Amino acid sequence: MAGKKRTKREKTAVEIEKTEDVRDETTTEAKSELETSEEKVQEAVEETAENVAAETEELEEVIKKGTDIVEDVPVPKKKFEEKVASWIPRTEVGREVVNGKYSDIKDLLKKGKIILEPQIVDYLIPDLMEELVHIGGTPGKGGGIRRTPTRMTARMHKSGRRFKLTSVVAVGNGDGVIGIGKATSNEHRTAIEKALQQAKISVISVRRGCGSWECNCGGAHSIPFKTRGKTGSVEIELMPTPMGVGIVADKESKKLLRLTGIKDVRSKISGQSCTRINLALAMFDALKNLSKTKGDI
């Protein structure tokens, strides 16, 4: 009897070992399948990121040359004038602009009027400049980041990943007027176009001056006093500097300061400045706070 019991125990041990081997094989197969699926997903993400980078480079060239965002063909100045001339205003402010009540955008902003049509800014500022703020990034070789004008975010769906693109565009005339817009869409061109329209209806007048005791020239090359702006955890402090110092700031902040016409200023940034959206909005808030004190805008 004892011998029979031993053989049964041995049989059960062999069966247990077989089941464990089968489990190990299934787990290894499942792990390999997961790794291959993850690799495929990573390859798809990298391909989409490369496509984003290529399209955004084309859009940057289009915007720098003053071409239309929707079309790849440059738009001549005559066509732009015809486009503005064919504009039919739908708001009271738009009708007043067309009738000639306001000849300058600063007069319109000083009255506290709300701009609801982007064509108003195109009508009053024909030489409006545009800049794309690089808020996104793709992983580069060696662990670096390649900055892109659009930020891609993904959310999981039962059919797979759904991607969205966010863009930030700044506009200005180089003479104390600046606007910034943020928009999200499923396509790069649509996101940038919507952000551009949003930037035009959010223009403000920036107060400039010479607040440096070292210069005291009375010009408008810098800012009249210190100012601060905050968005999220990013806080920016702008300080006036004498003539010739230049813009002491990061690359994206320089774009906004140049659009306003500020030539000499020093910035101090604290917080998570790697989030470029909050960085651009904090800079816009700091420039907006210059006009909160009494004085001519």
- pLDDT for the residue 148: 87
This prediction's pTM? 0.70
- pLDDT for the residue 136: 87
What is the Cα–Cα distance from 150 to 56, expressed in whole angstroms?
A: 7
Task: For residue 175, give both structure tokens.
Answer: 């003479």
Cα torsion 80, 84, 86, 88 to 10°: value is 160
The DSSP line for 261-275 is: T--SEEEEEES-TT-
Looking at residues 8-32, what average pLDDT do you find?
62
Domain residue spans in the chain?
A: 50-205, 227-292
**Which of 36-45, 133-142, 204-213, 228-237 is modeled with the greatest confidence?**
228-237
What is the Cα–Cα distance from 9 to 16, expressed in whole angstroms?
A: 11
Of the candidates 225, 224, 232, 229, the residue with the CA atom closest to the CA atom of residue 253 = 229
DSSP type of residue 294: S
Looking at residues 102-112, what average pLDDT do you find?
90
- pLDDT for the residue 15: 65
pLDDT for residue 10 is more than 90: no
- pLDDT for the residue 279: 95
The domain 227-292: what is its CATH number? 3.30.230.10
Within 8 A by CB and 6+ apart from 217, the residues are: 210, 243
- pLDDT for the residue 2: 44
Strand 204-205 and strand 177-185: the pairing is antiparallel
pLDDT for residue 22 is more than 90: no
Task: For residue 173, give both structure tokens.
Answer: 């005339």
- pLDDT for the residue 108: 92
What is the Cα–Cα distance from 57 to 60, expressed in whole angstroms?
A: 5
**pLDDT category of residue 69 using cuts at 50, 70 and 90:** very low
At 178-229, the pLDDT tens digits run 999 999 999 989 999 999 999 999 999 999 999 888 888 888 899 999 999 9
**pLDDT category of residue 84 using cuts at 50, 70 and 90:** low
**Which of 25-34, 65-74, 105-114 is modeled with the greatest confidence?**
105-114
Tell me the CA distances in angstroms from 117 to 178, 192, 200, 284, one per residue in order: 16, 17, 8, 21
Domain 50-205 has CATH 3.30.160.20: yes
